[in-house]
Amino acid sequence: MAGSTHIAAQRGERILSLRGVSKKFGAVSALTEIDLDVHAGEVVALVGDNGAGKSTLVKVLAGVHQPTSGTVEFMGRQVTMDSPAAALNMGIATVFQDLALCENLDVVANLFLGHELSPWRLDEVQMEVRAWTLLKELAARIPSVREPIASLSGGQRQTVAIARSLLLDPKIIMLDEPTAALGVAQTAEVLNLIERVRDRGLGVIIISHNMEDVRAVADRIVVLRLGRNNGVFTPETSNQELVAAITGATENAVSRRNERRDAEARGETA
Amino acid sequence: MTQSPNPMLDRSDTRVRHDDSLMGAAREFLDRVKSGDLGMLPVAVGLVVISVVFSALNPVFLAPNNLVNMLFDCATVGVISLGIVCVLLLGEIDLSVGSMSGFASAMVGVLWVNMGLPVGLAILAALVAGALVGSIYALLFNKLGMPSFISTLSGLLAILGMQLYILGPTGSINLPFASALVGFGQLWIIPKWLSHLLALLPGAVLVWTGLSVMRRRRAANLSAQPLGRLVLKAAVLTAALEFAVWYLNLGRGVPLMFGLFIALVVALNYALTRTQWGRSMFAVGGNREAARRSGINVKRIYLSAFMLCSSLAALGGMLSAARLASSSQQAGTGDVNLNAIAAAVIGGTSLFGGRGSAWSALLGIIVIQAISNGLTLLNLSSSLRYMITGGVLATAVIVDSLARRSRVSHGRA
């Protein structure tokens, strides 16, 4: 379980490697021949338009969906993840967009939900100590761990959700739109938190529509388009280049509009 | 931030006010009530109002022996209400507990008196029947997604039919008056010396566990509850219990059946607050999807709650058969169902799931029985009694809804 001295994997070591992963839903190919690598101590951003396959890819990695073809290697071994629990036990933790916290329970109860210490005589003291220690390590600002989740702000809830995924000592943590519903200050807090998670030697996969956030925290930016790899970029890449990769450089709504207007203009002159 | 050199783990955030003194405790209590976290307050207020009104109308109401009678009645429906607490915690309902209790009492009558089986076996059979009915509800809920409101409503009719069927044309079976079961239901009293001793127990347990938790928290560098508050709590509790026991002993004394009810409440309270199962119950009631994603076997939680509810209903039914010394077609009909549900809600278990405690069954049933007992003493017709009890239930649900709204706006869920 989580501890400050624990190091998940050698920094830079490849934790997760996808080769030629495809996922078909009937006639629809949601993912086609996806390759993806995640190393320890690295933040990989997955970006792409709606329908690019980001969520499907996350669900494949979280064990919710099984790939139609392709191989997944985890810590150097080829693996199959046939259930969310299997992925979790292997060391892939997911923080879903809707966080999935129980608002009626306090922070400690939520952190340890389903993995309470001593099931027949809950060890509240030990759980509270572990909760505080973990939150301190993440430099998270939670006023009290004995308040129900309902009294926390959006950023604090995101923090609790991330802390909970760390409690099972994963190798990789996946965050689906972690800053989508947050204000400026809370977004900064969560980005700081992601960096601290990375510094603990975990691999982080973050999905976001917000280019600014992605650029601020990611080491590599993987662009998906229509279910295919469409390039890997660095945070230094210009916005235009990224947007071009996301929307398709030559074929997008903007270019189509221009083409149509050109064609209309030609039609009038003809 | 200004901090002491070695701040306690849970006291390092200066934004949070900590109320350690007795005045602080009072302030914290007021804050909680204002934000809609009413706790036992409605029950306490309700009981005071009830006592004042009914004893003014008929002084017999507060006489020791009347209270002893009331406790006998409390135990029967209270046990049923305990099961209701379990399903309400999940945000579900069981409308068939009345029928289940009636069917269980009929089973005991038929198996034991008519067929001559040992009484223990008959009781066991009724409990198994309860568990079976509960597992059918859980199956319908888990596999077919049938709302518990509907499945238990059909259960209400079906089980009532089974009760009438096994009782046959005679319609009622008298239980032997000299038997232990009827003695337990009507006569047996905890010996005076033992009742005083037992009344010391909660305070002692409170101090003992409080001290051990305090020691462990101090050792782990967490803040601990001040000793003064703990001792005061235990002293007030012990004094109140000793007074109650002394007063009841002026009459017949504390019914053994009520002791069984209390023991069940304590056991369920432990299971709900101190075990993983209990934590899972609250989690499923609060956010089912979150519970599922954190690896809780949600279906098994539903199964356990429905089975527990129907089994406790069966037990309650047998206790009321013992209390009446008969199994009849009327057992479990009428207001048993609603009294059991109303007791849980009045005691503070939310109809919306995720909030409540085992104690709410005890507190709620005392309120319900006090009203019903008081109205009986006034010789009111049952028409009026139904109307008044209905009004009380409506009030309790309104308080629950308003408190919930207030909690949401104060961020306490």
Q: Which one is predicted more confidently, A96 or A23? A: A23
Please name the residues in contact with B86: beta carbons below 8 A apart, sequence gap of 6 or more. Answer: B268, B281, B305, B308, B309, B312
pLDDT for residue A4: 37
The shortest C-alpha distance from A257 to chain B (Å) reads 43
Closest CA to A139 of A191, A93, A94, A206: A191
Name the band, by pLDDT with cuts 50, 70 and 90, for residue B249. Answer: very high
Least reliable range by pLDDT among A169-183, B144-158, B258-272 = A169-183
Helical pair B97-108 and B64-89, crossing angle rounded to 10 deg: 120
The shortest C-alpha distance from A160 to chain B (Å) reads 13
Domain ranges of chain A: 14-237, 240-270
Q: Which one is predicted more confidently, A85 or A37? A: A37
What residues of chain A have any CB closer than 8 angstroms to a CB in chain B?
84-85, 88, 96, 98-105, 109, 113-116, 119-122, 124-126, 128-129, 132-133, 136, 141-146, 148-152, 164
Residues of chain A neighbouring B213 (CB-CB closer than 8 A): 124-125
pLDDT for residue B21: 67
pLDDT for residue B140: 96
Residues present in chain B in total: 413
Please name the residues in contact with B4: beta carbons below 8 A apart, sequence gap of 6 or more. Answer: none
Residues of chain B neighbouring A146 (CB-CB closer than 8 A): 10
Residues of chain B neighbouring A98 (CB-CB closer than 8 A): 289
Taking all residues of chain A, what is their mean pLDDT, rounded to a whole number?
84
Q: Is the pLDDT of residue A176 over 50?
A: yes
Mean pLDDT of B136-154: 95
What is chain B's percent helix, strand, coil content, to nearest 5?
75, 0, 25
Check: CB of residue A111 under 8 Å from CB of residue B372: no
Q: Is the pLDDT of residue A3 over 70?
A: no
pLDDT for residue A45: 93
3-state secondary structure of A77: strand
Count Cβ atoms within 10 A of the Cβ of residue B359 and give its class: 0-12 exposed, 13-18 middle, 19 or more buried.
buried
pTM of the model: 0.86
Q: First CA to last CA across chain A, in angstroms?
A: 73
Mean pLDDT of A102-119: 90
Q: Is the pLDDT of residue B2 over 60?
A: no
Q: What is the CATH number of domain A14-237?
A: 3.40.50.300
Q: Is the pLDDT of residue A208 over 90?
A: no
Name the band, by pLDDT with cuts 50, 70 and 90, for residue B398. Answer: confident
Q: What percent of chain B has pLDDT over 90?
A: 65
pLDDT for residue B62: 92
Read off the DSSP letter of residue B189.
B
pLDDT per residue over B121-139, tens digit each? 999 999 999 999 999 999 9
Interfacial B residues in 391-410 facing A (CB < 8 Å): 407-408, 410
pLDDT per residue over B307-338, tens digit each? 999 999 999 999 999 999 999 988 888 889 98
Please name the residues in contact with B409: beta carbons below 8 A apart, sequence gap of 6 or more. Answer: B36
Name the band, by pLDDT with cuts 50, 70 and 90, for residue A173. Answer: very high
Q: Is the pLDDT of residue A1 over 90?
A: no
State chain B's maximal CA–CA distance in angstroms. 81
Pair of tokens at residue B369: 């029985």
The residue in chain A having the minimum alpha-carbon distance to the alpha carbon of residue B214 is A125
User: Number of residue pairs across A and B with CB atoms under 8 Å?
Assistant: 109
Q: What percent of chain A has pLDDT over 70?
A: 91
Q: Is the pLDDT of residue B5 over 50?
A: no
Q: Cα(A79)–Cα(A67) distance, rounded to whole angstroms?
A: 12
Name the band, by pLDDT with cuts 50, 70 and 90, for residue B401. Answer: confident
- B229 and chain A in contact, CB less than 8 A: no
* Greatest mean pLDDT among A81-90, A218-227, B249-258: B249-258
Closest CA to B20 of B229, B232, B237: B229
pLDDT for residue A118: 87
Check: CB of residue B321 under 8 Å from CB of residue B103: no
A105/B279 touch (CB, cutoff 8 Å), yes or no? yes
pLDDT for residue B120: 95
Nearest to B295 among A85, A101, A124 (CB): A85
Mean pLDDT of B359-387: 89
CB atoms within 10 A of CB B147: 13
The shortest C-alpha distance from A129 to chain B (Å) reads 7
pLDDT per residue over A243-264, tens digit each? 888 887 655 565 666 677 777 8
The residue in chain B having the minimum alpha-carbon distance to the alpha carbon of residue A97 is B290
Least reliable range by pLDDT among A140-144, A202-206, B346-350 = A140-144
Q: Which one is predicted more confidently, B113 or B388? A: B113
Name the band, by pLDDT with cuts 50, 70 and 90, for residue B14. Answer: low
Q: Which one is predicted more confidently, B33 or A133? A: A133
Mean pLDDT of B130-157: 95
Q: Which one is predicted more confidently, A266 or A109? A: A109
Mean pLDDT of B97-104: 96
pLDDT for residue A2: 39
Mean pLDDT of B76-102: 96
Mean pLDDT of B59-68: 93
Q: Is the pLDDT of residue B266 over 80?
A: yes
Which residues does residue A36 pair with via DSSP β-bridges, in sequence order?
A18
Q: Cα(A237)–Cα(A235) distance, rounded to whole angstroms?
A: 5
Taking all residues of chain B, what is their mean pLDDT, rounded to a whole number?
89
The shortest C-alpha distance from B46 to chain A (Å) reads 26
Whole-angstrom CA distances from A126 to A111, B122, B193, B213 are: 13, 45, 40, 11
pLDDT per residue over B179-213, tens digit each? 999 999 999 999 999 999 999 999 999 999 999 99
Name the band, by pLDDT with cuts 50, 70 and 90, for residue A8. Answer: very low
Please name the residues in contact with B357: beta carbons below 8 A apart, sequence gap of 6 or more. Answer: B85, B269, B272, B273, B347, B348, B349
Least reliable range by pLDDT among A22-36, A112-126, B14-28 = B14-28
The residue in chain A having the minimum alpha-carbon distance to the alpha carbon of residue B273 is A122
The residue in chain B having the minimum alpha-carbon distance to the alpha carbon of residue A94 is B293
Mean pLDDT of A65-86: 87
